[in-house]
A and B are shown apart, each in its own frame.
Chain A
């Protein structure tokens, strides 16, 4: 994630050094990383820029307690529903809480939920898909059916139903979003596993007496990492939007925890006409975050799998 100018400049020099020596030594892992980062920046400067934005948002979420000027939960009854000013850059809400602080803390909730939901959902899906692709047969047919049933719901509807059935809380929101991500991981990894298991290297390992477990996890799974990463980054944005929608619909993380969805919901509940600053800033935060993760995801996809470049 450290895409700074000196590293970009360092990459060509190191190439020159390897060429002059008689025996080309394989590049160290560190150098390989910086070099691939340099290619990333060169090939898609847009994605690199948005990658930096995404990094900044992640840092904001991590450093929320330091960055936020006020306590996001503390009301100041002398400054209620105040428009943006020098004291509160983003204004205050109906009970005098600082909007900027709440937006900053909201990034923490949003990113935590999105990250763990995608990690949990796509990993479960990937393992399931791996087993489906590897074993095939009846297990695969039954699983494909089950996945089809899960995909017969629009994401948000399924997430709403699960979040409501489980009751409000951070954990439930993560689980609800994760379950809607399972089919995607399953489909992608299954197709990779299906095509890989017929290849000679798998046959060779089997011939050497490798167990099914070893074949799956040592030989096939590593090949699924690239599609998995692509999938995970592209789904972060979706997860953030679902989380915000759940918050907006009142089945997300319960108030007073500041989340962007909750803030928009509070703004709408505040009266007939919501103050503009309570609407503008949380939504802007969602948009920029989703945009950053989507474009970063596009960039990672182009880098890891050039065949997919330009497709939807």
Chain B
């Protein structure tokens, strides 16, 4: 197990390096001029050549590309994620302030997706092609198609019109004011959880249907075990393995999905910061945020792989 974890972490380190190169290539080398991004096309044409050179030098953009890359990596290693052009707060501070909110949204939505997806999948898989199964499948297909941010906007509007309620918009920490935080987090979490729940339900259903056909499940039935016990203690644990893997992948997609969803709800999380960075064309903040999202995504995948290996000796001992 230890060697497995080490191997996985080493691959992860390689991936993080690769990811940093991809981020750098996308943000710096692709044919968009950062000054155009900062000043806008009109502002850019108004700048004189001297001013352009001055700004480029100030931003460290006239160095050769490999040097820029090295500087960037050094900055990240020192924990200096730079500053926004438009705000006094440093990016690191912003991540620390806004990150927890997004993390809570993501965790809560994963929890929610399991609470919805798994029971529904069990009902569905126990009687394939029954009306309940068809209903479940139809609903899950529907929720795969509904864009989360639109659902979010509808929820905000409905609450506002029917109850005159709007979730608080300014930050509170989980420890000092859990009730306010919950109100801010619950909406995005439900929206994102429903979308994930649809995937989870589909995966859990097909995986359960497969496992139920296995010999050991038939043996358990044959020795006279109650069919519910067989499902709960024999079939379900094995059927959940692919669901856990999927859930890990979905976790990463929730982080991305929370960008538009947080905008729809007006939640001041990291996703909203990403939206602001994009709309202000704040290249450097964006570069670091994209890198952060990717690193979290990679770490999550490693974590999931380790959990799966821990749960499934077939992988651990290979």
Contact = CB atoms under 8 A, between A and B. Distances in A.
Interface of A: 145-146, 148-150, 152-158, 160-162, 164-167, 237, 241, 244-245, 248-251, 264, 267-268, 273-274, 276, 279-280, 282-283, 286-288, 290-291, 294-295, 310-312
A33 B279 CA distance: 49
A150 to B, nearest CB: 7
6 closest A-B pairs by beta carbon, nearest first, are: A154-B256, A283-B150, A149-B18, A291-B145, A290-B145, A156-B256
Interface string B252-283: 11011101100110000000001100110101
B267 to A, nearest CB: 13
Contacts, number: 153
B26 A161 contact: yes
Contact of A273 (B32, B160, B275, B278): B160
Given A160-B274, A312-B206, A165 B150 contact: no
Contacts of A150: 22
7 contacts: A149-B15, A157-B290, A251-B279, A273-B157, A273-B160, A274-B157, A290-B147
A156 B259 contact: yes
Interface in B124-164: 141-142, 144-147, 149-151, 153-154, 157, 160-161
A228 B40 CA distance: 40
A149 B15 CA distance: 6
B294 interface: yes
A153 B297 contact: yes
A263 to B, nearest CB: 11
Nearest to A282: B150
B286 interface: yes
Interface residues of B, number: 58
B275 A249 contact: yes
Contact of A166 (B31, B154, B202): B31
A150 B160 CA distance: 41
A167 B32 contact: yes
A245 B278 contact: no
Interface string B286-318: 110010011001100100000000000000000
A295 B18 contact: no
* Secondary structure call for the B interface: helix
Contact of A152 (B30, B41, B259, B297): B297
A270 to B, nearest CB: 12
Contacts of B202: 312
A157 B294 contact: yes
Contacts of A274: 153, 157
B18 A311 contact: no
A189 B141 CA distance: 26
B180 to A, nearest CB: 20
B279 A250 contact: yes
Interface string B228-241: 00000000000000
A297 to B, nearest CB: 11
Contacts of B225: none
B147 A287 contact: yes
A45 to B, nearest CB: 13
A155 to B, nearest CB: 7
B278 A283 contact: no
Interface of B: 14-15, 18-19, 21-23, 26-27, 30-32, 36-37, 41, 141-142, 144-147, 149-151, 153-154, 157, 160-161, 199, 202-203, 206, 209, 246, 252-253, 255-257, 259-260, 263-264, 274-275, 278-279, 281, 283, 286-287, 290, 293-294, 297-298, 301
A154 B253 contact: yes
Contacts of A291: 141-142, 145
Contact of A248 (B31, B149, B160, B294): B149
A154 B26 contact: no
A50 to B, nearest CB: 10
Nearest to B144: A294
Given A161-B290, A279-B154, A152 B19 contact: yes
Contacts of A287: 142, 145-147, 150
Among B149, B209, B297, B298, the most chain A Cβ lie within 10 Å of the Cβ of B149
Contacts of A158: 26, 290
A167 B44 CA distance: 13
A153 B19 contact: yes
Contacts of A166: 30-32
A193 to B, nearest CB: 24
A13 to B, nearest CB: 31
B257 A156 contact: yes
Contacts of B253: 154-156
A311 B32 CA distance: 42
Contact of B293 (A154, A165, A249, A276): A154
A215 to B, nearest CB: 31
A165 B279 contact: no
A211 to B, nearest CB: 33
Contact of B286 (A164, A241, A280): A164
A53 to B, nearest CB: 12
Contacts of A245: 147, 149, 259-260
A237 B153 CA distance: 21
B279 A279 contact: no
A179 to B, nearest CB: 9
